[in-house]
Amino acid sequence: MKRRSGRNGRLAGETPRGRRGFTLLELLVVVAIIGILVGMLSTALYRVQRNAKRAQVRTEVRVIGAGLRAYRTEYGYWPYTGQSTGIVTLTHDNYRLLDPMRQPATNPRRIQFLSWNEIFTTNRTGERVPLGDYAAQNPGVPCPVVDPWRLPYRIQLDYDRDMGKVICQTEDIRHTF
């Protein structure tokens, strides 16, 4: 015969309807485990996103450098920056170096040195949009080329040594051309 305990004659450990609920401690342990898993997942996602942006930067600095070098090879001089000797560095006004590559007056052969939809600028709301689309919709509006963190690339040309660099300020990724 089963032994009854307690005041209401139930078996030890038995609840009123035969179900056993979770204790507060068990619920807290489950919540803590879920919190740890979410924390690990968000850290991993952040790393993946950052690595993807770094890969995109590497591609963009190579594209910009290759376009500038191709322009130099084709015409025998760098796109006009208002300077012909020494080192010129363009950051927020880097469009002054890239725009002549699109303009018929400074690119009379109309060669496409850059794929304008592979490099980006920011629109009025701060979104990163392809430069070609933005420039077509907003002619004459200065639009610097920006990295995935929305900071403008720094482009340096050394007229004396006939070389240049494209530098991502956020991640210190450089491409010399």
- From the first residue on, what is the mean pLDDT of each consecutive set of 10 residues in the chain (177 residues)? 58 60 92 96 94 93 92 88 81 88 88 90 90 87 90 90 87 85
176: Cβ contacts below 8 Å, ≥ 6 apart: 65, 163, 164, 165
Residue 9 lies in a domain: no
pLDDT (tens digit per residue) in 68-83 = 999 999 998 888 777 7
Tokens 């401690």 correspond to 25
Residue 99 lies in a domain: yes
User: Which amino acid belongs to residue 69?
Assistant: R
The whole domain housing 155 covers 24-176
Residue 146 lies in a domain: yes
